[in-house]
């Protein structure tokens, strides 16, 4: 079924509630495991029907946030998804308390019940109004970002459209593009502050209604984290400060020297070479044709997957007016199909986002035949292993996209992956501080950001940009508003992806086998269970970082950057 041919229909919520409640009643009264098994399948079919329509509406709205029809549909799901969540809560309660639980676990897997139990802690009918409001605020934030209309280089740009200028080899252009971007945030600072303040206080209120001390643990539970906690994450951040921050500092010093700059400012960070960053050598259509060839050669499984995506129009890749920012992969459950969304803008980020989101999509495609929706995707830190590792596993084909700039790309990609981790833990520590201090003023939050940022990224200098020097940089980070505590997932996954990078150098065939096995497992195991499935070392294990960071440091040190500058 091609995406353009999929019929969207707003679900009749009252009808769904009646059907769902009837099935739950039968499930609770069932006399044997076979009856419950059939009822679970019927409940899952009903869940997938609702979720499919919700996903289609969300995709169409993100493709064009000015589309009034799907803006209204997004509002419908903002208001009614919490009611549907309440139905799923009833289902989870029924299976967790089933007298046939042992037999159900044997059939459906223990992970389903672990997910159910942790989800039950994060929901109660008494927070439905707060959940509706949270959805509304998230949509307001998305709309505000997408509303950016910045006049630059003689025409109107959105935030994504400014990125090529922010990587310009002309320092004045880089600076002007960055200032134009941050002027948008400064002009809307009061609104960004209000939205976040409302979200923080709302989430804190929900957590306390549910019996949590604050939102921190509730946030972890909402992320489905069953086998690690905030204390383990804090120790991980400490490891990053000790092992990775010194390497990041060295890379930044090398970058400054390579660019020949006496001062190294925030607007210089995105440029790696005097001659310009690596760029793909063709149009979006050409990029897709290169990707098709790449995935046909990577493995039979990826060949089948990418042809499916193309034939069924399951990608919307190019930046345009009114489009939401960023990139994502989602899953249309009824059609067992992933969907990739991105904003190509002519930079090397186009290839990074394509391979990243294709990693997510390939995993969802590989595990699409699970019967329970909980297993289509794993928890997000495991999802990000698929995406970030795919970026590295496709390195042998980067010459197709970058031609004579391939080595520039590889260095920038690996260096950027290392540099990202200190930023990622900054976001995580900041969010922890925010939800431990929910009554803090917006100005106090910004001060906390500056202090944490200095700990992990001491090389950042804001060159008298008032908004950034007051600590506003984090307001561009969607995850902070939309998905609290998500961001550390990228860091944990990057540690796993680095291991795949090292494996692919040592034994590419084994690396690919481990990767395929990981993708096929979907969400049927917890994060650490999936790490074990892929023959990886846990990011929380002592010595994990030192097992590969030396190899990465050595590769970057030995790269002759003078030959490509």
Whether residue 532 lies inside any domain: the answer is no
Instruction: Please check the confidence at residue 449 and state whether its pLDDT lies above 80.
Output: yes
pLDDT at site 1:
84
- Over residues 71-88, the mean pLDDT reads 94
Task: Provide the pLDDT for residue 282.
Answer: 93
Extract long-range pairs of 442-447: CB within 8 Å, 24+ residues apart.
442/193, 442/196, 442/197, 443/470, 445/196, 445/471, 446/470, 446/471, 446/472, 447/471
CATH of the domain at 458: 1.10.1370.10
Average pLDDT over residues 417-427: 98
Residues 167 and 249 occupy one common structural domain = yes
In terms of domains, do 111 and 19 share one? Answer: yes
Write out pLDDT tens, residues 321-330: 889 888 999 9
For residue 105, name the pLDDT band (cuts at 50, 70, 90).
very high
Q: How many domains does the chain have?
A: 3
Please say if the pLDDT value at position 443 is more than 80. Answer: yes
- Per-residue pLDDT at 507: 97
Check: CB of residue 32 under 8 Å from CB of residue 99: no
What is the pTM assigned to this prediction? Answer: 0.93
Residue for token pair 């019929």: 7
At residue 26, the pLDDT reads: 98
Residues 167 and 202 in one domain: yes
**Rounded mean pLDDT of the chain?**
96
The pLDDT assigned to 106 comes to 96
pLDDT in tens, 397-412: 999 999 999 999 999 9
In 3-state terms, what secondary structure has residue 154? coil
Burial-class residue 506 by CB neighbours within 10 Å (0-12, 13-18, 19+). exposed
Cβ count near 99 (within 10 Å): 13
Residue 420 has pLDDT above 80, yes or no: yes
* Reported confidence tier of residue 340, pLDDT bands at 50, 70, 90: very high
Residue range(s) defining the domain that contains residue 89: 3-134
Kindly state whether residues 61 and 189 are assigned to the same domain. no
Q: Which of 462, 474, 473 is nearest to 268 (CA)?
A: 462
pLDDT of residue 563: 73
In a domain, 531, yes or no: no
The whole-number pLDDT of residue 160 equals 86
Per-residue pLDDT at 326 = 86
Hey, what's the torsion of the CAs at 295, 297, 299, 301, to 10 degrees? 50
In angstroms, rounded to a whole number, what is the distance separating the alpha carbons of residues 214 and 381?
A: 22
Mind listing the pLDDT tens digit for each residue in 520-561? 999 999 999 999 999 999 999 999 999 999 999 999 999 987
Position 89 scores a pLDDT of: 95
Model confidence band, residue 354 (pLDDT cutoffs 50, 70, 90): very high
Q: What pLDDT is recorded for position 514?
A: 98
In a domain, 317, yes or no: yes
- Our CA dihedral for 312, 317, 322, 324, rounded to 10 degrees, sits at 100
pLDDT at 305 over 90: yes
Average pLDDT value for residue range 163-179:
95
pLDDT band at 246, cuts 50/70/90?
very high
Q: Where are the alpha helices (DSSP H) in 30-170?
A: 33-63, 68-96, 101-108, 110-120, 128-146, 163-166
In a domain, 563, yes or no: no
**467 and 520 fall within a common domain:** no
Contact 391, 359 (CB under 8 A): yes
Q: pLDDT tens, 19-36? A: 999 999 999 999 999 999
- Does 472 fall in a domain? yes
pLDDT grade for 212, boundaries at 50, 70 and 90: very high
pLDDT at 241 over 80: yes
Q: Based on the fold, state whether residues 498 and 355 are members of the same structural domain.
A: yes
Residue 565: pLDDT over 90: no
Distance CA 356, CA 134 (A): 28
- Structural contact between residues 198 and 137, judged by C-beta atoms closer than 8 angstroms: yes
Positive or negative torsion for Cα 549, 555, 560, 561: negative
189 and 254 together in one domain = yes
Are 126 and 162 members of one domain?
no
Q: In percent, how much of the chain has pLDDT > 90?
A: 96
Nearest to 107 by CA among 36, 185, 7: 36
Residue 551 within a domain: no
Asked whether residue 555 is assigned to any structural domain, the reply reads no
In a shared domain, residues 168 and 296: no
Structure confidence by residue, pLDDT tens digits, 477-510:
999 999 999 999 999 999 999 999 999 999 999 9
H/E stretch holding 341? strand 337-344
477 inside domain: yes
Indicate the angle between helix axes 380-393 and 406-436, nearest 10 degrees: 170
Q: Same structural domain for residues 121 and 29? A: yes
470/497 same-domain check: no
CA distance 267 to 178: 6
Predicted confidence at residue 562, as pLDDT, reads: 75
Task: Check whether residue 269 and residue 163 sit in a common domain.
Answer: yes
User: Given this model, what pLDDT does residue 141 score?
Assistant: 95
For residue 265, pLDDT over 90 is answered with: yes
pLDDT tens digits, one per residue of 117-169: 999 999 999 999 999 999 999 999 999 998 999 999 999 999 988 999 999 99
Q: What is the pLDDT of residue 506?
A: 96
């Amino acid at each position: 079924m091609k995406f353009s041919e999929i019929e969207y229909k707003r679900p009749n919520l009252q009808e769904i509630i009646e059907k769902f409640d009837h099935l739950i009643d039968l499930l609770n009264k069932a006399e044997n495991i076979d009856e419950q098994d059939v009822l679970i399948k019927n409940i899952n079919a009903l869940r997938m029907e609702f979720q499919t329509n919700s996903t289609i509406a969300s995709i169409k709205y993100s493709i064009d946030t000015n589309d009034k029809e799907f803006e209204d549909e997004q509002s419908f799901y903002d208001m009614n998804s919490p009611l549907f969540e309440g139905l799923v809560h009833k289902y989870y309660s029924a299976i967790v308390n089933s007298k046939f639980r042992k037999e159900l676990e044997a059939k459906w897997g223990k992970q389903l019940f672990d997910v159910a139990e942790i989800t039950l802690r994060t929901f109660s009918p008494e927070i439905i109004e707060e959940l509706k409001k949270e959805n509304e605020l998230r949509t307001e934030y998305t709309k505000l970002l997408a509303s950016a209309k910045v006049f630059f280089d003689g025409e109107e740009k959105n935030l994504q459209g400014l990125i090529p200028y922010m990587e310009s080899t002309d320092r004045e252009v880089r600076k002007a593009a960055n200032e134009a971007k941050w002027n948008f945030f400064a002009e809307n600072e009061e609104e960004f502050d209000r939205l976040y303040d409302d979200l923080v206080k709302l989430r804190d209120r929900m957590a306390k209604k549910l019996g949590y001390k604050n939102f921190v643990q509730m946030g972890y539970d909402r992320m489905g984290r069953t086998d690690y906690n905030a204390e383990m994450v804090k120790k991980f951040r400490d490891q990053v400060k000790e092992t990775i921050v010194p390497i990041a500092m060295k890379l930044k010093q090398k970058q400054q020297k390579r660019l020949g700059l006496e001062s190294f400012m925030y607007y210089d960070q995105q440029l790696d070479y005097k001659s310009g960053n690596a760029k793909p050598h063709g149009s979006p259509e050409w990029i897709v044709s290169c990707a098709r060839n790449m995935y046909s050669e990577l493995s039979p499984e990826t060949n089948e997957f990418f042809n499916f995506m193309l034939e069924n129009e399951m990608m919307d890749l190019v930046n345009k007016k009114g489009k939401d920012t960023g990139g994502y992969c989602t899953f249309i459950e009824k059609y067992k199909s992933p969907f990739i969304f991105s904003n190509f803008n002519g930079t090397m980020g186009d290839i990074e986002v394509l391979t990243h989101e294709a990693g997510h999509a390939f995993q969802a495609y590989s595990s699409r035949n699970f019967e329970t929706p909980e297993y289509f995707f794993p928890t997000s830190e495991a999802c990000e292993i698929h995406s970030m590792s795919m970026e590295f596993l496709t390195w042998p084909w980067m010459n197709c996209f970058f031609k004579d700039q391939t080595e520039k790309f590889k260095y920038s990609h690996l260096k950027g992956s290392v540099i990202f981790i200190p930023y990622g833990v900054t976001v995580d520590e900041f969010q922890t501080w925010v939800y431990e201090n929910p009554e803090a003023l917006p100005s106090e939050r910004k001060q906390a950001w500056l202090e944490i940022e200095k700990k992990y990224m001491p090389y950042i200098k804001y060159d008298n940009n008032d908004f950034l020097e007051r600590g506003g940089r984090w307001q561009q980070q969607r995850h902070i508003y939309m998905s609290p505590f998500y961001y550390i997932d990228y860091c944990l996954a990057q540690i796993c992806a680095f291991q795949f990078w090292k494996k692919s150098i040592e034994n590419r065939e084994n690396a690919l086998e481990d990767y395929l096995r990981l993708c096929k497992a979907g969400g049927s195991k917890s994060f650490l269970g999936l790490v074990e499935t892929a023959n990886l070392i846990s990011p929380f294990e002592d010595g994990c970082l030192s097992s590969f960071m030396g190899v990465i440091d050595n590769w970057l040190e030995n790269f002759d950057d003078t030959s490509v500058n």
